[in-house]
Structure 1
Amino acid sequence: MFKRVFLAFLFSLVASVSLAQDVKVVYHVNTGVETAAAILNNLNNHLNASPKDKIVVVTHGPGIDFLLNDAKDSKGREFSGQVSALASRGVAFEVCNNTLQTRKIDPSNLLMETKIVPSGVAEVARLQAKEGYVYLKP
């Protein structure tokens, strides 16, 4: 009897710990500045609803454009302030080195909150397969 009660307790403890874990999410961004404002709003909404979630934004192709210094939306608003605010809330912004090389963009043109990864698509796959991230394509 004690063994059953102990096993039931242990099972419920493990279940509650796994439910309490934060969600890890990778946002895959490969569209240009015309969608960046909506994506940044999605990130804010996500963190407002689930502030402990771990979020990585992986960009490649035109998706890196909002992470360039002086990048602006169609209304002339810069993205740097929003990116900085999100980074201060724990969001990681990753930029594809293949895109930088192909487009001949100097890494010094990136916002300071960014991190360069060898390949954006390979990073998305790695985060999903090896680190258990949920995939979101805004």
Structure 2
Amino acid sequence: MKIIRILQSFFIALALISSTTAWASGATVVYHIDDSANARMVLGNVTNHLIAAPDTKIHVVSNGKGIEFLLVDAQDSNGKPYAPAIQALAAKGVAFKVCRNSLNSRKLGDNAVIAEATIVPAAVAEIARLEIDEKAAYIKP
């Protein structure tokens, strides 16, 4: 009887570990940023996320003031450029997306956006698509 309980506990623990590993491995996550004041923190969160779960497919979707860090020559409040961190994460498969509506509201063209970012018609529509079609987890730091 005691052996059966030990085996049951073992198999329950194994199932929990397997389901956690399966979710972390190959999961899709969308980080939503609507204020570039948080951009450096978001880039750090994404870096840490990939360290913990390197097989995660991450999309950083920006709109409103959140597009600013994805513009050509963008720098943080300390004058440090965002481009090197974005390039490093893009090389690891992170997809950066900029809302066309936000660009249009500022009268900015596609050439205002860094090469590592993709322009999507609407950030909210892209987030919804990722959540529905790709079962993405939504994170709003």
Instruction: Name the residue aligned to 1:23.
Output: 27
Matched, 1:69 2:72: yes
- TM-score w.r.t. the length of structure 1 is 0.84
Matched, 1:48 2:51: yes
Task: State the alpha-carbon separation in 2 of the partners of residues 24 and 126 from structure 1.
Answer: 12
Aligned letter for 1:24? T
Q: Across the two proteins, how many residue pairs are aligned to each other? A: 123
SS at match of 2:67: helix
Matched, 1:105 2:108: yes
Aligned letter for 1:54? K
2:42 to 39, 53, 58: 39
Q: Deviations over 1:33-73 (max 9, x none)?
A: x2111111111101111111000011100010000011111
Task: State the alpha-carbon separation in 1 of the partners of residues 22 and 44 from structure 2.
Answer: 26
Task: State the alpha-carbon separation in 2 of the partners of residues 60 and 109 from structure 1.
Answer: 14
Q: Percent identity?
A: 45
Q: Deviations over 1:80-117 (max 9, x none)?
A: 00000000000000010111111111210111000010
SS at match of 1:90: coil
Task: State the alpha-carbon separation in 2 of the partners of residues 114 and 60 from structure 1.
Answer: 13
Task: State the alpha-carbon separation in 2 of the partners of residues 73 and 131 from structure 1.
Answer: 31
Task: State the alpha-carbon separation in 2 of the partners of residues 19 and 38 from structure 1.
Answer: 27
- TM-score w.r.t. the length of structure 2 is 0.82
Runs of 4+ in 1 over 6 A off after TM superposition: none
Task: Give structure 2 stretches of 5+ with no counterpart.
Answer: 1-14
